[in-house]
Structure 1
Amino acid sequence: MTLVALARAQAFAAGRAQPIATVRHLHLHDHPFVLIPLAMAGEANAPLAAMFGDSPAKPRLLVVAQPRNRDERFAFADALSAELVPYLMSFADQTEAVAVDRGRDVRHRYVDAPQVWVPNPGGIDFLRLFGRSTRFRRVDGDYPVPPTVPLLGQWLTFLAGAAEVPGSSLLLNAVQALGLHWATGQSGAEDNHLGSLLAWIEAGAQAAREAENGPVAGPATDPEFDNRVLAPLIADGDPALATVLHELLLPTWQQMWRILDRLRTLPPGDRVAARWDSDRDSYSSFVEHLAEGGPPQPRRDGAVAAAARLQRLENAAARYAVQRAFDDPLVMAEYRLAGVAFGGVVTLAAPDRVDDTGKRPVLRPRIMVATAETIRVEAGATLTSPARPAQKAKVVSITATPAGHDVLLELSGGMGRKLVAEPGTVPAVGEKLLLTTLSEGYRPGAALPDPAETPWTHGGPPALSSDG
């Protein structure tokens, strides 16, 4: 993006991170749970340690003395479940009624939901893989595990799945959260180092260079640390391992809480609360699924389920991009630069204009907007104003002027059901208006076939042989 690239150049020149947002684009819980996982290098998703908790003054640490030992891995999962699952379930108490079907029915959801923070995208990947490796474990038969282990796996899989949804705030990583609001003068790859990224924001480039040599934020450890310190401790079964890992993870723990405090200094965007409502819906549905004894999530989605999920994620990504632009002038500026959004002043208004050319008269006010900005819309295009998202503005004509353009618009929706507009619903002469082709309106998904109606290559019935 052009303006983000400019902010990076300015950050490099100034030696200090630059803001790229005026509001916070994520929900920040009053009672979050911070989890810093650490994995053993060279082993597929072998947990080595985890520092976690919901109070900055009380970090708790779990350590796996021998990560290659299967029993110790599941003992780690059992202990982590005993700490994390009660937090996750602590919000499953008080419910509220939500109107559905235009008020003809109600459903219930929990009034709050949990929020888990990890340092970086690698932490989310670790939780996803660890969930997959634990949610199918049997609690009886050969090699049983405690009942808490598959339960933890289902919760981790749920959280990791939520993290894939753009705009969700159930499972967040600090690197992405900071990068959403500040631009540094280093590369995107360097931004993945949590300590360096935070140093750019807090103190500047010099502090960031020093932080690069500091402890990593997991889930992978530093190779030199592995060879010089970690390997001998594990090989000898040295009880000092817990102390060493505590000292390794404590700086990241402290950084995580400073990051949360810094994010709290930004006011939340207007549409953040609505996205958190969706998170609460998702949480409520999953808790109900567990209460009913529902099975663990499948290893992989079927063809139809995968297509439906991809469609939901694409729609969520498009809606999230629009909502961020509507909430934040700095984000919208990128669209104004591209010409798909422009600001202007209302110079003429006919708020009571009625169109009676159809079968029945309808209210269709018209306004004239004068703009000096570049615009790349044509007559017939439909525009929306973030100030009145329920109202549509159809471009009737665009006339060039010495100062820019005069755009004649015909309004529909968001003005009440009568032939006289509700007060304030039609922009008045002199009002500054922002208009854009962006829309956060509902977009219906494409119709997908029943799984039984798909070809055998996609999980449907097998093909018939030539002899019937």
Structure 2
Amino acid sequence: MSALTSLARALAVRAEAAQPITTVRHVHLADRPLVFIPLTLAGEANAPLAAMLGDSVEAPRLLIVPQPRNRDQRFEFAAELGRILVSYVDSFARRQEEIRGKRRFTDAPQILVPNPGGIAFLRLFGRSTRLRRIWGEYAVKPIVPTLGKWLTFFAERAEHPGSSLTLAMTSTLSAHWATGQSAVEDANLAALMAWFTDDPFEAARDAEDAAIWPPAGPTTDPTFDAAALMPAINRYAKTDADPIARQQALEHLRAVLQGQLDPTWQLMWRGIDLLRTVEPGATVVERWADDRDVYTNYVEYLQTGTALPQARRDSAVAAARRLNRLERAQSLYDAQRALDDPLVMAEFRLAGEAFAGEVVAADPTRLDATGPRRKLRPHVTVRTTDPFKLPVGTELQSPTRRAQTARIVSIDGSDIVLELTGGMGRALTPTPGSVPELAERVTYSTVSTAFQPGGNFPQAEDTPWTHGGPPPPPEPTEEDAVEAWS
């Protein structure tokens, strides 16, 4: 937890309300997100129990598995879930635009789950379904492996820093507001949302009562399991010979599960409305464009008709490349957030990696004549009261002039002289506004969004023996059809 977040938590207690820790929203929020709330059976390996999903608060769809240990019923659930989710995903693959000679879809799907446990469900359920066969023994409906591929796609994008294709509501809200409770308590969606009510302390106490606010999943409350769920499942299991009693038992089970999911459904849409009140940051649109590129590429890959499911596990080279991509994406995302948001930048200022101050001197038309031709190299002097640790020669960037580089020329107490390069036009006279003016408040930091080249990795067929040698080609096996649900 950062120093500013700790302060915001203390202020939240005093004010009895959640405190913003950002000035802008750092995620994209789709016009038509798909809210997905899964439930699993306790004591089973990711056995689906129920799910509520939909792209409208007025029209949730409830899917249940009356007997979660029944393999056929679990795959019926997977098929129905696949029809809904794949239909939603495909609805965005219609309109395209051309950007720099490449076509991509104008929009993309977005899945919102209550918490990181929901993302784990996507990952595990995707692994359980994407490798299934649609012929032979243990055959499933064709929609099931397609569902598995898409669930795995969304789970993998959730790990990509800055991506908004898959979001956990508790994590997203906690990244934008601080409450007066611990991070563990913030993981409870009802307890987190309590801090946006008139009486957060009372609401947070209510959130601890599973009878008032059931868990947001994917696991259920043990008291509910013993008192309501298992009796309802057992009642259904004992009605094989009586169709009327079976239907009544099914309706009772649906009502029991709907009572567990409805409160979370309402909380999810309240969270969406809350996020919509915050304007997105400048680079959000750029990251969403990357998400649309990734979505477009995967749709086109699936349309080839020969698309293989994602591997059960990455090869050594694939894992190294993936880790390198995630590290570079995290670095870029951190930089973009700081440049978009003064509150995020404040953390860098406290660490001595950035400073803010007032321009006390400026030479906007200064020329550097040391080379074969003269170059425009203005000098500005910034006076700051921030803790400062950067040495002479450090290159900096300003959130308000991102195309420009500033290099520290000298330091005299609290006065820092900077030499500016770029972002001023091609003439020897800077364009208006491109050089900071006297008395202007400016911020500079080591944060940079400069391109970072990827690592140099061998081809998969050149994997060294120290890492297992070249991986075998992906081929379906008998094991795929009977893979455990975990």
Q: Please give the range of the TM-score, normalised by the shorter of the 2 chains.
A: over 0.9
How far apart in 2 are the matches of 1:64 and 1:372?
62
1:434 aligns with 2:443: yes
Aligned to 1:351, which of 360, 364, 374? 364
Question: CA separation in 2, counterparts of 1:16 and 1:351?
Answer: 46
Does residue 1:8 correspond to 2:9, yes or no?
Answer: yes
Tell me the residue number matched to 1:69: 70
Report the TM-score when normalising by structure 2.
Answer: 0.91
Checking the alignment, whether the CA contact within 8 Å between 1:49 and 1:64 is kept in structure 2 is: yes
TM-score, reference length from structure 1: 0.94
2:318 corresponds, among 286, 289, 305, to 305
Query: Matched residue of 2:412: which SS?
Result: strand
Structure 1 SS opposite 2:181: coil
Secondary structure of the 2:228 match is helix
Q: Which residue of 1 aligns with 2:83?
A: 82
Moved more, 426-435 or 143-152: 426-435
The corresponding residue for 1:141 is: 136
The residue type equivalent to 2:231 in the other structure is: P
Q: Give the one of 436, 443, 453 matched to 1:444.
A: 453
Q: Give 1:298 deviation, angstroms.
A: 0.8
**Structure 1 counterpart of 2:276, one-letter code:** R
Task: Provide the C-alpha distance between the structure 2 equivalents of 1:439 and 1:205, rounded to a whole number of angstroms.
Answer: 41
Structure 2 counterpart of 1:38: 39
> What is aligned with 2:354?
341
The yes-or-no answer on 1:368 pairing with 2:377 is: no
Query: Letter of the aligned partner of 2:62 in structure 1?
Result: L
Corresponding residue for 1:218? 217
2:80 and 2:401 mapped to 1: Cα distance?
51
Task: Say whether the 8 Å CA contact 2:154–2:166 is kept in structure 1.
Answer: yes
CA distance in 2, matches of 1:140, 1:454: 34
Matching residue of 1:103: none
Q: Residue in 2 aligned with 1:229?
A: 228
Q: Aligned residue for 1:465?
A: none
The whole-number CA distance in structure 2 between the counterparts of 1:459 and 1:169 is 35
Partners in 2 of 1:461 and 1:75 — Cα distance? Answer: 38
How far has the Cα of 1:455 moved from its partner? 1.6
Partner of 2:296: 284
- Look up the match of 1:250: 262
Are 1:161 and 2:160 an aligned pair?
no
Q: What is the match of residue 206 of structure 1?
A: 202
Which runs of 4 or more aligned residues in structure 1 lie more than 6 Å from their structure 2 counterparts after TM superposition? none
2:359 is paired with a residue of what secondary structure? Answer: strand
Q: Larger deviation: 407-416 or 125-134?
A: 407-416
Partner of 2:481: none
TM-align CA RMSD: 1.3
State the partner residue of 1:409.
Answer: 418
Equivalent pair of 1:182/1:201 in contact (CA under 8 Å): no
Task: Work out whether residues 128 and 157 of structure 1, in 8 Å CA contact, stay in contact via their aligned partners in 2.
Answer: yes
Partner Cα distance (1:298, 1:362) in 2: 54
- Counterpart amino acid of residue 268 in structure 1: P
CA distance in 2, matches of 1:173, 1:243: 26
CA displacement at 1:324 relative to structure 2: 1.2
**Do residues 241 (structure 1) and 242 (structure 2) align?**
no
Determine whether 1:111 maps to 2:111: no
Corresponding position: 1:322 with 2:324: no
Correspondence for 1:197 = 192
Q: 1:363 deviation in Å?
A: 2.0
- The answer as to 2:126 corresponding to 1:131 is yes
1:461 CA displacement: 5.2
1:424 maps to which residue? 433
Secondary structure of the 1:409 match is strand
Q: Which amino acid in the other structure matches residue 413 of structure 1?
A: G
Report how far residue 315 of structure 1 moved: 1.1
Q: 1:461 to 1:129 in 2, by over 3 A?
A: closer
What is the CA–CA distance in structure 2 between the aligned matches of 1:254 and 1:354, rounded to whole Å?
Answer: 62
Distance 1:29 1:450 in 2: 37
Q: Identity across aligned pairs (percent)?
A: 56
Q: Which amino acid aligns with 2:221?
A: D
Report the secondary structure of 2:219's partner residue.
coil
Q: Distance in 1 between matches of 2:271 and 2:36?
A: 14
CA contact 2:28–2:288 (8 Å) conserved in 1: yes
The alpha-carbon deviation at position 286 of structure 1 amounts to 0.6
Seen in structure 2, the aligned counterparts of structure 1 residues 362 and 355 have a Cα distance that, compared at 3 Å, is same
d(CA) in 1 for partners of 2:467, 2:441: 53
Larger deviation: 332-341 or 160-169?
332-341
User: Would you say the 8 A contact 2:460–2:470 is kept in 1?
Assistant: no
Cα distance in 2 for partners of 1:131, 1:410 equals: 53
**Are positions 1:398 and 2:394 aligned together?**
no
For the residues of structure 2 that align with 1:225 and 1:143, how far apart are their CA atoms?
Answer: 33
Deviations 1:279-298 (A, max 9, x none): 10110011011101211111
Name the CA distance, whole Å, in 1 between partners of 2:8 and 2:369.
Answer: 51
Q: What letter is aligned with 2:459?
A: D
How far does the alpha carbon of each residue in 1:389-430 deviate from its partner, in whole angstroms, 9 at most, with x for none?
Answer: 111100000001xxxx11111111222233332222121222
Cα deviation code 1:313-351 (max 9, x no counterpart): 111111111111111111111111222111112222222
Select between 39-48 and 184-193 the one with higher mean Cα deviation. 184-193
Q: How far did 1:16 drift?
A: 2.4
